[in-house]
Structure 1
Amino acid sequence: MQELDIFRRCLLDFKYVEDFKEFRHRTNTKNFFKAERVKKRNLARFNPFTDYHEIKFRQKYRYTKENLRRIIEIIRDDMEIEPIKKNQVPTDLQILSAIRFWGGTEHPKLTAMAHGVSLQTMIKITKRVAAVLSSKASRYIRMPATLSEKERMMRSFEQIGNMPQVIGAVLHKTVQYQPVNGNLTIATQTQLDDFLHSQLVCDADYKIRDLDLRQPEEFSINTASEMFALSRIKERFEQNEFRGRILLGNERLSCSSCLFTPVAYPKDESEDLYNHAHDLTFAPARKCLNVWTRRFGVLNSTLYGSFNSAKQTITALALLHNMAMEWKDPSIDMDNTISHCTPTMSPSLDQTAQAVEDRNRRSFIKTHFTCHNVENNLV
């Protein structure tokens, strides 16, 4: 019995030694937390390309997977110029998260949470992606330069409503932007949003060919006509860069030698025919604006950042829209229904100047829309 008791005590001693070793291992906090960090670092990041099926991906990111990969390839090198910081969100995921943020399909905080970042970091990412995209605007947002390009654009408009000489249609949209403070925290709701006026020139294929962005306070812009008068596109027409060609505008603009608007009160059949042709030919511009704002819902909401940041974002969204139109991206329904845009700028009230400029339009109507000329064009 005595020997058996000694053996039992020896077993207990061995157990105490093993427990002590385990205790020392668990109390070594440095090694313990280091192991935890290694384990956390090896966790797979969220990857929309593999984690979402095609339909859900298009709903969230506004493009097909194939087309978004093309966008990433176009701007990835410019995004990776800066040195990679510790724990930085991968470049591909930055581009994806920015486009999803601009899509406006969910609350901004949910978009940030989905990509594992704070809203403040999300705003920084969108500003960075917008800056890179907007730097490429001259390649994707431009009026036709060669004679063949100009003729092709004119034919595409003429095929719609049998209206000759048209090389573009002008539309305006006002976008809200809300400045953020130095810590990138969003301003309180008591602070009023600022506004940015955008002027678009669209073609018959729903692409944005020219973009002008200004603040309402700049040169006291109060009407769409005042903004057009200050725009680069008007200056280019005055310099005869598009000699013999015209732009179309809606009733919120003033008729001029290069910009034709509908006749407010048609007096004869030729003016009725002109108005009908104008409405048909102007329709692609309305559809272009509607498709653009449906794809990027943030345009109907609020952009976060300064005026310059908002300009870069709108330019980036116009560029992304043109890419989608060029690649015929099917993620946004391109139905035949065209809803009229809600006016966001006041019409011109200068009736005297309007009467003077109407002479060019009357001459145009007489040349192309008298009954005899219309019959010849149809033949």
Structure 2
Amino acid sequence: MKDIQTFERCLKDFEYFKDFQGFLDPRDNGQKRRIPLKRKLVRFNPLNDLNENQFRIKYRFSKESLRRIIEIVRDDLEIEYYEPLKREQVPIDLQILSAIRLWGGTEHPKLTAMAHGVSLRTLAKITRRVASVLASKASRYIRMPATLSEKERIMCSFQAIANMPQVIGALLQTTVRFLPENSGSYLSEDDPDGESTYPAQSNEELHLQIVCDAAHKIRDLDIRLIDEHSMASDAEMFALSKIRDRFEQNEFRGRILLGSEIVRCSSSLYTPVRFPRNQSEELYNHAHSTTYASARKCLSLLMSRFGVLGTEILGSQSSAKQTITALSILHNMAMEWADPSIDSELHVSPYKSTFFNAMTNVSKSGEDNNRKQFIKTHFASQ
């Protein structure tokens, strides 16, 4: 008898629960309207929900490499940007994944935001945070060789390419556009959720100077704003850089950088001979172009992995610099780990000679003599 009473009470409890789920609405003609129970938000997890090939296409890294990046950055994000946990807060690992996918430039930013369940405005905040944390690690991941053994190792790797001695780095320059926040806001003020995009009204450019090694890792990075009113040549940009001062102070005594023809030849930066007059200069030019291809390949790999560098970076000048630094660090991680997501054998066409601008690229006689002596010592005709 007690069991029957207990069963009846259970049935009444179920009826009470059903009554709690629904109620009578007079606008529904006496019909019962069901109130759907709020479900817990299940976020997209690309590490679990995408296969390896799909993941590499979207995130420009293998899953193993992305997991390593997440572990390197996670603690700094949690410490630097800690806030009391809020309902449906974007997890740290998903913040890192969404930022890297946006930088990959494989799709419209709105699609990237939708794929990770955030608004464009939230995605913009996330990318700035991730870039800032990554950029803070620049001294660890972007640095010229300091010890004698490091210098010798890099020199040997360059010499193994085309028998060009004494080379410790290859220098390459390009520009990257960015959209300042105060010039045609990317996100409308009338759209607080950041669901609409507006074309840029104006943008500015940053001059990017890279020094890389033979393994296509970035060893030095110099980023400067290009002033429209005082446009400086690439040679003048090099003269302003810290790496040039370090060579002038004999930090890398007896070692040289390789540069393209658009940069002025100097005692520390050797460029191709514009009009080779003998076999020695032709041999030098051939060795120079083959060795210098490392720099062009480095830039090609960087641009292939992070398409945003070929379009424009959204944010202030400071934010754009942090983003470029962060992408250079990610590039070095990919090179160090031999990440297979971007073809490491990406074809780079042979170096092609271009004419100097006679007004800005005239070498000093003393600097020319340094190169002449170098050619005579190492490339004299047999």
SS in 2 for 1:71: helix
Match for 1:268 among 269, 278, 285?
Answer: 278
Contact 1:221–1:227, Cα closer than 8 Å, also in 2: no
Contact 1:224–1:348, Cα closer than 8 Å, also in 2: no
Q: What does residue 102 of structure 2 align with? A: 101
Is 1:215 paired with 2:216?
A: no
Contact 1:46–1:115, Cα closer than 8 Å, also in 2: yes
Q: What does residue 121 of structure 2 align with? A: 120
Q: What does residue 66 of structure 2 align with? A: 68
Provide the rounded CA distance (Å) in 1 between the counterparts of 2:200 and 2:341.
Answer: 37
Structure 1 unaligned regions, length at least 5: 1-17, 373-379
Is 1:306 paired with 2:311?
A: no
Moved over 6 A (4+): 32-35, 340-343
C-alpha deviations, 1:77-126, integer Å up to 9, x for none? 01111224423211000000000000001111111111111112111111
Provide the rounded CA distance (Å) in 1 between the counterparts of 2:227 and 2:72.
Answer: 36
Provide the rounded CA distance (Å) in 2 between the counterparts of 1:75 and 1:24.
Answer: 44
Change over 3 Å in CA distance of 1:356–1:221 after alignment to 2: farther
Contact 1:290–1:339, Cα closer than 8 Å, also in 2: no
Q: Which has the higher helix share?
A: 1
Provide the rounded CA distance (Å) in 2 between the counterparts of 1:166 and 1:371.
Answer: 21
Contact 1:104–1:298, Cα closer than 8 Å, also in 2: yes
Contact 1:141–1:319, Cα closer than 8 Å, also in 2: yes
Instruction: Give the number of aligned pairs.
Output: 346
Q: What does residue 154 of structure 2 align with? A: 153
Contact 2:101–2:112, Cα closer than 8 Å, also in 1: yes
Q: What does residue 92 of structure 2 align with? A: 91
Is 1:49 paired with 2:47?
A: yes
Provide the rounded CA distance (Å) in 2 between the counterparts of 1:119 and 1:69.
Answer: 24
Is 1:361 paired with 2:356?
A: no
Match for 1:232 among 232, 242, 247?
Answer: 242
Match for 2:23 among 21, 26, 31?
Answer: 26
Is 1:325 paired with 2:342?
A: no
Give the TM-score taking structure 1 as reference length. Answer: 0.85
Change over 3 Å in CA distance of 1:24–1:318 after alignment to 2: closer
1:349 deviates by: 2.8
Match for 1:58 among 32, 56, 69?
Answer: 56
Letter in 2 for 1:278: H
Give the TM-score taking structure 2 as reference length. Answer: 0.84
Provide the rounded CA distance (Å) in 1 between the counterparts of 2:21 and 2:187.
Answer: 46
Contact 2:179–2:200, Cα closer than 8 Å, also in 1: no
Contact 2:281–2:379, Cα closer than 8 Å, also in 1: yes
1:356 deviates by: 4.0
Q: What are the within-5 Å matches in structure 2 for residues 30-41 of structure 1? A: 36-37=37-38, 39=39
Change over 3 Å in CA distance of 1:115–1:213 after alignment to 2: same
Provide the rounded CA distance (Å) in 1 between the counterparts of 2:350 and 2:309.
Answer: 16
1:339 deviates by: 3.5
Letter in 1 for 2:276: P
Provide the rounded CA distance (Å) in 2 between the counterparts of 1:33 and 1:144.
Answer: 69
Q: What does residue 13 of structure 1 align with? A: none
Structure 2 unaligned regions, length at least 5: 1-14, 26-32, 189-196
Q: What does residue 12 of structure 1 align with? A: none
Change over 3 Å in CA distance of 1:318–1:49 after alignment to 2: same
After superposing the two structures, state which structure 1 stretch, 216-225 or 107-116, moved more.
Answer: 216-225
Letter in 2 for 1:54: E
C-alpha deviations, 1:311-331, integer Å up to 9, x for none? 000000000000000000000
1:36 deviates by: 3.2
Change over 3 Å in CA distance of 1:218–1:145 after alignment to 2: farther
Letter in 2 for 1:88: Q
Change over 3 Å in CA distance of 1:327–1:152 after alignment to 2: same
Change over 3 Å in CA distance of 1:348–1:48 after alignment to 2: farther
1:347 deviates by: 5.4
Contact 1:251–1:347, Cα closer than 8 Å, also in 2: no
Change over 3 Å in CA distance of 1:84–1:265 after alignment to 2: farther
1:287 deviates by: 0.5
Change over 3 Å in CA distance of 1:312–1:369 after alignment to 2: same
Change over 3 Å in CA distance of 1:206–1:172 after alignment to 2: same
Contact 2:22–2:35, Cα closer than 8 Å, also in 1: no
Provide the rounded CA distance (Å) in 1 between the counterparts of 2:374 and 2:121.
Answer: 54
Provide the rounded CA distance (Å) in 2 between the counterparts of 1:66 and 1:95.
Answer: 14
Provide the rounded CA distance (Å) in 1 between the counterparts of 2:200 and 2:295.
Answer: 36
